[in-house]
């Protein structure tokens, strides 16, 4: 039976990935390693834990090397490591960059070393388009774009990517890196833009929008992202970087207005606030390598996906409401 270690599997993207992977592959066993920080919620996988014998949860900090050693020894040696684990919220990285350095850089270094020493056949580093910095009005990020991170979060992720690159070029380790655009969908922590706006609008609370609201992001449904990761894991070229996006750019303010429309709430709830320090103006991803080399394309329509996401948060208050108290 195939065995993968998935780190950060109780987070938004990781939990969606585990659910999809176990559904797609009957011969797959997954060990999910998660510290369960603010954005890691074990309840994200309640439908799997305890009911699927091919799933195992281990609570551990990837920055604690000794806590990980046993996962890579003996008969438990995995066939792949997929590193989703990351501190990911830009605002939190500004107030506490040390935690991001520990998890995103030190943790990745430990995982790469342990996987290399254990002879793990493939290591997949899940990264972000934010490592590229900010775009002007035109153009898109390609895998050859310069890395120019502008926040402690994106700098820590860029550092992790470079460690993965070094592992390939120095040690010949089979490493692939994915860099994805903004995700949305079920189980997203409610401090992120789309769920925050949904939750606030549902309760007739103000919707805080940074600056003039015209920052542009390329949005992709989390399930499209997860399917892309499966494709890269299976067929990606060792040492390569793969950009994952859906060619779906929206200004933040337009997203907010669309959410208000779906919830039949007034635009008077919008409140423009002081812009975030170092706030990148625009991201846009060129996914040509994914399209041409791996025959992958995003398939989910954004308008329908956003409507389904709004409905999911309306129907799952018992999931997200306790998180607001944390």
Indicate the pairing of strand 216-221 with strand 249-251: antiparallel
Distances (CA, A) of 74 to 32, 58, 69, 101, 230: 18, 17, 10, 30, 26
- Establish whether 129 is a catalytic residue: yes
* Percentage of residues in the chain having pLDDT higher than 70: 98
- Residue 48 is part of a domain; what is its CATH number? 3.40.50.720
Could you say which of 153, 184, 187, 283 is catalytic? 153
Domain presence at residue 21: yes
Residue in 34, 61, 129, 227 annotated catalytic:
129
Q: What is d(CA 140, CA 287) in angstroms, rounded to the nearest whole number?
A: 9
Domain count, the chain: 1
The average pLDDT across 75-95 equals: 86
Q: What is the pLDDT of residue 226?
A: 98
Band the pLDDT of 17: cuts 50, 70, 90: very high
Domain assignment present for 147: yes
- Ordered DSSP codes for 13-80: HHHHHHHHHHHH-TTEEEEEEE---TT--GGGGTTTTTT-TTEEEEE--TT-HHHHGGGGSGGG--SE
* Catalytic position from the list 130, 161, 223, 280: 130
Residue 213 falls within a domain, yes or no? no
pTM for this prediction: 0.95
263 assigned to some structural domain: no
Asked if the structure places residue 252 within a domain, the reply is no
Annotated active-site residue 55? The verdict is: no
Task: Kindly give the residue spans of alpha helices, DSSP state H, lying in the chain.
Answer: 12-24, 65-68, 90-95, 97-100, 108-118, 152-171, 193-202, 222-235, 252-262, 288-293, 302-315, 317-320
d(CA 286, CA 268): 35
Domain that residue 26 falls in: 2-189+219-247+284-301
For the question of residue 187 being annotated catalytic, the response is no
Share of the chain above pLDDT 90, in %: 88
The residue that leads in pLDDT, 205 or 39, is 205
Tell me, yes or no, whether 253 lies in a domain. no
Mean pLDDT across 301-318: 97
Instruction: Note whether residue 204 is domain-resident.
Output: no
Is the pLDDT assigned to residue 92 strictly greater than 90?
A: no
Query: Is residue 262 in a domain?
Result: no
């Amino acid at each position: 039976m195939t065995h993968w270690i998935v780190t950060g599997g109780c987070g938004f993207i990781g939990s969606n990935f585990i659910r999809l992977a176990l559904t797609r592959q009957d011969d797959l066993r997954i060990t999910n390693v998660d510290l369960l920080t603010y954005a890691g919620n074990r309840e994200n996988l309640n439908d799997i834990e305890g009911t699927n014998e091919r799933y195992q949860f281990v609570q551990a900090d990837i920055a604690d090397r000794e806590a990980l050693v046993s996962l890579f020894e003996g008969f438990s040696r995995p066939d792949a490591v997929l590193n989703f684990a990351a501190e990911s919220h830009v605002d939190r990285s500004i107030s506490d960059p040390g935690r991001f350095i520990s998890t995103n850089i030190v943790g990745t270094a430990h995982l790469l070393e342990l996987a290399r020493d254990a002879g793990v056949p493939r290591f997949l580093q899940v990264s972000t388009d934010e490592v590229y910095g900010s775009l002007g009005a035109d153009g898109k990020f390609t895998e050859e774009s310069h890395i120019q991170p502008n926040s402690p979060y994106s700098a820590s992720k860029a550092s992790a990517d470079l460690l993965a690159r070094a592992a390939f070029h120095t040690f010949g380790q089979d490493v692939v890196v994915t860099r994805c655009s903004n995700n949305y969908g079920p189980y997203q922590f409610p401090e992120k833009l789309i769920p925050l706006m949904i939750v606030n609008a549902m309760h007739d609370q103000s919707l805080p929008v940074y600056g003039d609201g015209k920052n542009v992001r390329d949005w992709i449904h989390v399930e499209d992202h997860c399917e892309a990761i499966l494709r890269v894991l299976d067929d990606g070229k060792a040492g390569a970087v793969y950009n994952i996006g859906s060619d779906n750019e929206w200004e933040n303010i337009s997203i907010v207005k669309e959410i208000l429309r779906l919830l039949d709430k007034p635009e008077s709830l919008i409140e423009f606030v002081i812009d975030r320090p170092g706030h990148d103006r625009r991201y846009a991803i060129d996914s040509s390598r994914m399209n041409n080399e791996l025959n992958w394309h995003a398939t989910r329509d954004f308008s329908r996906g956003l409507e389904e996401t709004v409905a999911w948060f309306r129907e799952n208050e018992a999931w997200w409401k306790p998180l607001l108290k944390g």
